[in-house]
Amino acid sequence: MTATLPPNAYPEERRLVTVMFADVQGFTALAEQLDFETVSDLLKEIWFKLDQVIEAHGGYIDKHMGDGVLAIWGAPSAGDNDAENAVTAGLALNVAMDEFARESRLPGAGELKMRVGIHSGQAFAGYIGMHNEYTIIGDTVNVASRLEQYTEAGSVIISESTFLLTRGKFIVFRPEPVQLKGKHEPVMTYLIEGSQAISGRGNYRGSESMETHMVGRNMEMEQLAGLFSQSRGNPLPTMAIVTGQPGIGKSRLSMEFSTSLENLDHSIFIMTARALGQARQVPFYLWKMLWHNRLNLRDDDPPRNSNEKFLSEIQKLWGKSLGIGSAIETAHVIGHLIGMDWSDSPYLAAIKTPQARVERAFALTREILRRIAAVHTLVILIDDLQWVDKNSLELLESLFTPGEPSLPVFILAGSRPEFLQQQPRWSELAEVINLAPLPANAELVATAYPILSKYPKSILQTLARQAEGNPYFLEEMVKSLIKTCDDGTIPLAEAAIHRLRAQPPESLQAALQARLDTLPREIRSIALLAALVGRVFWVGAVIAAIRMATKFGTSAPTRFSYANTERIVREALIQLEQAELVFPKAGYNFSQEQEYIFKSSLLRDVAYNLILMRYRPFYHKAVADWLANRTDADFNFMAAEHYELANWPVQAARQYELAAEHAKLRGATDESERLLSLAVALREKAKSQKTFPIGSQ
Ligand SMILES: Nc1ncnc2c1ncn2[C@@H]1O[C@H](COP(=O)(O)OP(=O)(O)OP(=O)(O)O)[C@@H](O)[C@H]1O
Ligand SMILES: [Mg+2]
C-alpha cells in the first residue's frame, strides 16, 4: 500500500536520508508461468514477512512496486543510526527471504532471492499527488535504485556515502567503482558480507576513530604465511599459537593475518571464535561460537529457526563426496553437542550413551571439516585460548589424531602465556610464536599512527619509551594525547607529554584506569557495573545491577529511577562505544538481551577492580538473578558463578546442578561431575553459614 498521511503530519524538508531499494529476484520468470492470482498470493505473503523486517529496523515503507519496495531511514523522522539500521535491515531481508524460500509451499518460491541497494544523501521529503502521499524525491533515490539493479541476487550493495556513515560496523568486501546507468561518473560501491564474522573481535562491531597500521610484526606475519602454505599439503592440522603478554598484539596480528589471507584467496573459509573467561565452564562453548559465528546463528533466534538454519547450512557444506555419516546426522549430533535442542532426533536416540554421542560428534566434526577443507581453504581462528573450556580443547586436540582421510586445516590461536605453562603439550602440537615488545623508536610510532605526523619527533620518542613496547599501552597514550591537543598544537602536546613524564603510568592498568577516570561520573559507574557482569555483558544484566544499587543506596548515581534506567543505560552505552571502550554485538537491536563486549579483558578487569568490595555481592546477586532467568542453558553456568560471588551458596548450588544436567546431556560427563561436586560443597557451606547472605530481605 502506498503510504498516505494527512497533510502536514510531517513538515516538508530537505533531509539526509538513507534509501533502500529491495527487489525479489526470480520473480518475473515465475510470474510468466503462474496465474496472477497465485502470483499475488505469493507477493502478499512475501511482503507481509519482509515489511515486518523493515519496520523492526526502524525503516519507513514508502511504497511497494510489485516485487520491489522502497524504504527510507531518516524520514519522516531520524533515528540514532539510520544508515546502520538500513544496512542491518538489508542483511535481515536476505535472511528472511531465504527462510521464506525454504518454508513456502507455493510453487516456485524456493528459487526466490533478494537484491538490496542502499544509498545515503540529501532528498526532498514531503507530499505529492492529489492524495498527499508522503515520499522522498531526489537523485539519492535514483542512485539507490540503480545500485539495486546492478547487484547480484542474494546480496546487499551500498554506496560510498552509506559506507562512510557506517564505517567499521560491517564487513565489506569487493570495493569497486561501478558505472551506473544514467550517471556520468563511476560510483564506489561495497558489498556487505553479513554471514561471515572475520574480525578479531568476533562479530562484534567496532568503530575505528583513527587509522592505525600494524608495525614491527613483519617477521611474525611471514612466519604465519609460511606455516599456512605448509598446512595445505599437510594431512593433519597445522597450528600456530601466538603468545605474549596482555596488549602485546596477539589479536591484532591474527586479525591482520586473516585479512591478508582473504585478500589473497576469496574462497577461503574462515571459522572464528574467542574463548571467554565467563564461559570457561560451559562445555563446548568455543565450538558453539565457531559454528554460531560462521553460520550467523544468534542466541535470540527462536530454537526452531536456528535448528533449521543450522541443518540447511550443514547440508550445503556437506557436498557430495563419500565418507561417514550424513548431513542430517551431523547437524543433529554436532548441534546437540553445542547445546541445540534436537531431542526428537532419531540419530541421537540411536546412540545409547552420552559418551558415545560425544565420540560420534567428534568423528562428525572431523568429517564436516574435512569436507569443507576438500572444497575451500579452511582456517580456524581462535582468540584467548587461555580461557577455552576443557571439552572444546579436547575436541580441538582430537583433530590432530592421525588417520585417513586427511584434514588439512590451518589453526591460528592467540593466547596469554599461562596457557602453554599449564598445557605444555600444546607446544608440541603447535608452532609457538612468541610476541616480544616492540622496539621503542619514534619512526614506528609515526608509522603506526599517521595522525601523529604533525607532532615533533621528540614527542614520538617519549611516547615510544613510555609505552614500554606494549602497543595497547601506546594506543591508550596516543588517545589521551590527541584528546588534549587534537589540533596538534605543539605547546599543548608538550605539556601533555610533560604530564605523562611527571606521573609515569606504571603500567597498562594505570593507563586504562586513567581513561576510565575521564568518563563522566554516571557513565563511569555504568561501565563499572557492566564490568561486574563480565567481559561480555547484557543490557538487562546491567540494568538489574543498577536497580539493585539504587535500592540499597550504594554508590549509584541518584538520577536513576526505576523507569528511566533503561534510557540512561542506553545513552551511556552509546558514549562508551564512542569512546571505544565497549562494542555491541552486531545484528541485535537495543534490548535487554543486547550483548556487548569490553574492548579488552584487561579493561574489564581494571573497571571491575574499582568497585568497592562491600558492594560487589549485592550487584553479583542482581546479575545472577537476571542470568538465572534466561532460557539458554549456558546462562546457568554464569549465574552459578555470580551467586557464588554474591555469597548465596544455595542458589549457586542450584545453578551448578542445572548446569551439571546440561553438561551431562551434552556428554561432558567429567564436567558434569565436577559441577555437581561444586554444588555439594556449596550446600555444605550453606549449612555452616549462620548469617543471612547479603542482599536478602
Ligand atoms: N603491531 C602493532 N602495531 C600497531 N598497533 C598494534 C600492534 N599490535 C597491537 N596493536 C594495537 O594494540 C591494541 C592491543 O592489541 P591486541 O588487542 O591485539 O592485544 P592482545 O595481545 O590480544 O591482548 P589480550 O591478551 O588482552 O587479548 C589493539 O588496539 C591493537 O590494534
Ligand atoms: Mg587479544
Domain spans in the chain, listed from the N-terminal domain onward = 13-192, 218-434, 442-516, 521-688
- Specify the pLDDT at position 506: 53
CA 471 to centroid of ligand 1, rounded, Å: 6
CA 426 to centroid of ligand 2, rounded, Å: 19
Tell me: the pLDDT tens digits for 546-604?
Answer: 988 877 655 444 455 666 788 889 889 988 988 889 998 876 666 788 899 998 888 99
**Ligand found nearest the CA of 252:** 1
CB atoms near residue 178 (< 10 Å) = 15
Kindly give the number of the ligand 1 atom that is closest to the alpha carbon of 248: 21
Tell me: the pLDDT tens digits for 49-102?
Answer: 999 999 988 899 999 998 999 999 988 877 767 888 899 999 999 989 988 988
Kindly give the number of the ligand 1 atom that is closest to the alpha carbon of 217: 1
Query: 537, 577 in Cβ contact below 8 A?
Result: no
Q: Is 459 a pocket residue for ligand 1 (Cβ < 6 Å)?
A: no
Higher per-residue pLDDT: 228 or 302: 228
CA 526 to centroid of ligand 1, rounded, Å: 25
Kindly give the number of the ligand 1 atom that is closest to the alpha carbon of 438: 1
Q: Is 446 a pocket residue for ligand 1 (Cβ < 6 Å)?
A: no
Q: Is 323 a pocket residue for ligand 1 (Cβ < 6 Å)?
A: no
Q: Is 620 a pocket residue for ligand 1 (Cβ < 6 Å)?
A: no
Kindly give the number of the ligand 1 atom that is closest to the alpha carbon of 244: 21
- Specify the pLDDT at position 63: 94
Tell me: the pLDDT tens digits for 152-170?
Answer: 888 999 998 888 777 656 7
Instruction: State the average pLDDT for the chain.
Output: 86
Ligand 1: residue whose CA is nearest its atom 30: 252
Give the residue-averaged pLDDT of 492-518: 67
**CATH code 3.20.20.70 for 13-192:** no
Tell me: the pLDDT tens digits for 113-161?
Answer: 999 999 998 888 888 888 888 899 999 999 999 999 988 888 999 998 8
Q: Is 474 a pocket residue for ligand 1 (Cβ < 6 Å)?
A: no
CA 569 to centroid of ligand 2, rounded, Å: 27
Ligand 1: residue whose CA is nearest its atom 15: 249
CA 515 to centroid of ligand 1, rounded, Å: 17
Residue 627 has pLDDT above 50, yes or no: yes
Q: Is 535 a pocket residue for ligand 1 (Cβ < 6 Å)?
A: no
Ligand 1: residue whose CA is nearest its atom 2: 214
Residue 667 neighbours by CB under 8 Å, 6+ apart: 337, 354, 355, 357, 358, 361
Q: Is 217 a pocket residue for ligand 1 (Cβ < 6 Å)?
A: yes
Concatenated DSSP letters for 306-369? Answer: HHHHHHHHHHHHH-S---SS-HHHHHHHHHHHTT---TT-HHHHHS-SHHHHHHHHHHHHHHHH
CA 574 to centroid of ligand 1, rounded, Å: 23
Ligand 1 pocket mutation, candidates 207, 214, 243, 251, criterion most atoms within 8 A of CB = 251
Q: Is 62 a pocket residue for ligand 1 (Cβ < 6 Å)?
A: no
Residue 200 has pLDDT above 50, yes or no: no
Ligand 1 pocket mutation, candidates 387, 472, 477, criterion most atoms within 8 A of CB = 472
Q: Is 26 a pocket residue for ligand 1 (Cβ < 6 Å)?
A: no
Q: Is 584 a pocket residue for ligand 1 (Cβ < 6 Å)?
A: no
Q: Is 469 a pocket residue for ligand 1 (Cβ < 6 Å)?
A: no
Of 222-236, 410-424, 476-490, the one with minimum mean pLDDT is: 476-490
Residue 402 neighbours by CB under 8 Å, 6+ apart: 235, 236
The residue type found at 657 is E
Residue 272 has pLDDT above 90, yes or no: yes
**Ligand found nearest the CA of 382:** 2
Q: Is 257 a pocket residue for ligand 1 (Cβ < 6 Å)?
A: no
Query: Which helix (H) or strand (E) covers residue 133, if one does?
Result: strand 133-137
CB atoms near residue 593 (< 10 Å) = 17
- Specify the pLDDT at position 2: 45
Q: In whole angstroms, how large is the CA radius of gyration of the chain?
A: 27
CA 146 to centroid of ligand 2, rounded, Å: 42
Residue 198 has pLDDT above 80, yes or no: no
Q: Is 215 a pocket residue for ligand 1 (Cβ < 6 Å)?
A: yes
Distance CA 508, CA 503 (A): 13
CA 445 to centroid of ligand 1, rounded, Å: 14
Residue 179 neighbours by CB under 8 Å, 6+ apart: 186
Q: Is 403 exposed, middle or buried (0-12, 13-18, 19+ CB in 10 A)?
A: exposed
Q: Is 508 a pocket residue for ligand 1 (Cβ < 6 Å)?
A: no
Ligand 1: residue whose CA is nearest its atom 9: 249
Query: Helices (H) and strands (E) in the chain — how many of each?
Result: 28, 16
User: Positive or negative CA dihedral for 421, 426, 428, 431?
Assistant: negative
Q: Is 201 a pocket residue for ligand 1 (Cβ < 6 Å)?
A: no
Q: What is the pTM of this model?
A: 0.69
Distance CA 637, CA 644 (A): 11
Asked if 13-192 and 218-434 have one fold, the answer is: no
Q: Is 414 a pocket residue for ligand 1 (Cβ < 6 Å)?
A: yes
Q: Is 354 a pocket residue for ligand 1 (Cβ < 6 Å)?
A: no
Q: Is 247 a pocket residue for ligand 1 (Cβ < 6 Å)?
A: yes
Distance CA 518, CA 611 (A): 16
Tell me: the pLDDT tens digits for 34-55?
Answer: 888 888 888 999 999 999 999 9
**CATH code 3.40.50.300 for 218-434:** yes
